[in-house]
Amino acid sequence: MLLLYRQRWGLCYLPILALTAFAILAAARWVLPLPPRNVVIAAGVFQGGFAQMAERYRDELERRGIRVDIATSSAGASGPLQRLATAGDLSQAGFAHGLLAERGPEAPVHALAVIGKQPVWVFTHHAGVTSLSMLRGMKIAAGPPGSATREVALMLLAQAQVRESDVTWDLQHQGLAAATELLERRADAMITIGSGDAPSVRLLSRSAGISMLGIERADALAAREPRLRPFVLPQGAIELRGDVPARDLTLLYTGTHLLARDGMHPALQRAFLDSATEIHAVPTFLQRQNEYPDWQADFPLSPVAQRYALGQRPWIEWLLPYWWAQLAELLLYGVLPIMLLAGAALLWIPRLFSLRVDAVLSHYYGELNFLENDLEAVATENPIRMKNLLGKLDQMEHEVTSLDLPDRFADRWYTLREHLAAARERLLKLRAR
């Protein structure tokens, strides 16, 4: 007991302090880690629609103290979805339209929200072409074979009774390059999927001599492909003064998805969703005010996004700015409980020694009390047993004398010895009678 008491710092206090430091480190690293201070957004081709959208997200996220890097790629390279699905890629968020869902190894990718429309646009420079069936025999730019855009183009043409072999496909150009081919009359039509802010859509929709085609039987096509939905683009919606489009057009659209890699920090996901609410709530010619973000996603919806859609988030994020809220959560739910447990343990150690000494001393006081109760009876009824009592008292005195207690318990030790001496004196007097 005395050895343990004298070495309590090395045997008790220091291990508890070391365990406390380790527990705080474990809480900060594994249990309640702080979100990363930087994130990489995969944004497709340079100067594309997704790249422009990523710029807007960078502005919003950097207002919250999150540094954003935008990862773009050349035409034909891996898109945002493929980069997010690649384990070694640094991208943590990105964009994709709903037609890409279930088109590859996107198991580690979840949708945070649907953030807008990406219509299927059909442009041509032939003023006499008013329907898709009139594209037979023409040269069409619609992305590389196997792409989502090419498959939608084949679907649209098949609906118009135009076979794949009935047209010539531009295999070399897509995006702005394909739009340039159409403007310079080296291609007859272009089918593309993109938002209203996509560079190729913005260029072609406002160029003289380029007209847009509506899609016949759009509801039937949407029934065959649920990720495509029909809508009406009103006359003059893109440009009222220029009367673009020149008439109401029925188009198909797929949702633009904000994607995140599975395992992204929940607080970072909520920061993206807050940014999406700020960016996409503004009305455009393709959407009403507060129509987006929406949660009817074609990709599996992140559990964090599901709770966000229901208005569920840590209460502390309602009170504090982004980074202060994360730090406060770590301190409140991680560091503070550990410190309280450590403080209780450090306060309990002296109490533990006191309880142990009390138990030892109480044991001898109990034995002494029994011995004193037996003195009168033994002295009058069985004097021979007094020798046994004296021997027992001698043994108790020897044990108490050999006790090695801390100095702060010396007064109680001396008091016990005085009681033992008084009991011996009384026993000797009774024996002398």
The stretch 1-6 carries a mean pLDDT of 55
7 or 58, which is more confident?
58
279 in any annotated domain = yes
pLDDT band at 18 (very low <50, low <70, confident <90, very high): very high
Same domain, residue pair 337 and 290: no
Angle formed by the axes of helices 410-432 and 386-401, nearest 10°: 160
53 in any annotated domain = yes
Residue 105 has pLDDT above 60, yes or no: no
Range of the domain at 308: 38-313
Same domain, residue pair 307 and 373: no
pLDDT band at 6 (very low <50, low <70, confident <90, very high): low
Output the pLDDT for position 352: 80
CB 121 within 8 A of CB 191: yes
Integer Cα distance of 333 and 335 in angstroms: 6
Same domain, residue pair 237 and 138: yes
Integer Cα distance of 279 and 155 in angstroms: 33
Percent of the chain with pLDDT over 70: 94
Residue 94 has pLDDT above 80, yes or no: yes
Output the pLDDT for position 268: 97
The stretch 145-160 carries a mean pLDDT of 92
Same domain, residue pair 345 and 381: yes
Same domain, residue pair 347 and 295: no
372 in any annotated domain = yes
23 in any annotated domain = no
From first CA to last CA, the distance across the chain in angstroms is 42
Q: What is the pLDDT of residues 65-74, one digit of tens each?
A: 999 999 998 7
285 or 2, which is more confident?
285
Same domain, residue pair 262 and 365: no
Same domain, residue pair 8 and 62: no
Same domain, residue pair 273 and 404: no
For the domain that residue 183 is a member of, what is the CATH number?
3.40.190.10
19 in any annotated domain = no
Integer Cα distance of 386 and 12 in angstroms: 46
17 in any annotated domain = no
Residue 424 has pLDDT above 90, yes or no: no
Integer Cα distance of 161 and 39 in angstroms: 47
**End residue of a domain, out of 313, 339, 357:** 313
Residue 104 has pLDDT above 70, yes or no: no
pLDDT band at 241 (very low <50, low <70, confident <90, very high): confident
271 in any annotated domain = yes
Output the pLDDT for position 76: 62
Going from the C-alpha of 238 to that of each of 52, 231, 247, 282, the distances in angstroms are 19, 14, 11, 16
113 or 426, which is more confident?
113
Same domain, residue pair 225 and 298: yes
**End residue of a domain, out of 257, 278, 313:** 313
357 or 232, which is more confident?
232
Q: What is the pLDDT of residues 254-283, one digit of tens each?
A: 999 999 998 899 999 999 999 999 999 999
Residues 62-94: b if buried by 16+ CB within 10 A, e if exposed: eeeebebebbbbeeeebbbbbbbbeeebebbbb
Residue 407 has pLDDT above 80, yes or no: no
Output the pLDDT for position 236: 94
Integer Cα distance of 302 and 274 in angstroms: 15
Closest CA to 54 of 87, 83, 76, 33: 83
66 in any annotated domain = yes
Q: What is the pLDDT of residues 344-383, one digit of tens each?
A: 999 998 788 778 778 888 888 888 888 888 776 776 667 6
Lowest mean pLDDT among 24-28, 195-199, 246-250, 294-298: 195-199
Output the pLDDT for position 433: 62
Same domain, residue pair 252 and 365: no
Lowest mean pLDDT among 61-65, 148-152, 361-365: 361-365
Same domain, residue pair 277 and 352: no
Q: What is the mean pLDDT of the chain?
A: 89
Q: What is the pLDDT of residues 301-339, one digit of tens each?
A: 999 999 999 999 999 999 999 999 999 999 999 999 999
**End residue of a domain, out of 285, 313, 341:** 313
Output the pLDDT for position 107: 66
Query: How many domains in the chain?
Result: 2
Same domain, residue pair 87 and 214: yes
pLDDT band at 97 (very low <50, low <70, confident <90, very high): very high
The stretch 285-305 carries a mean pLDDT of 94
Output the pLDDT for position 208: 92
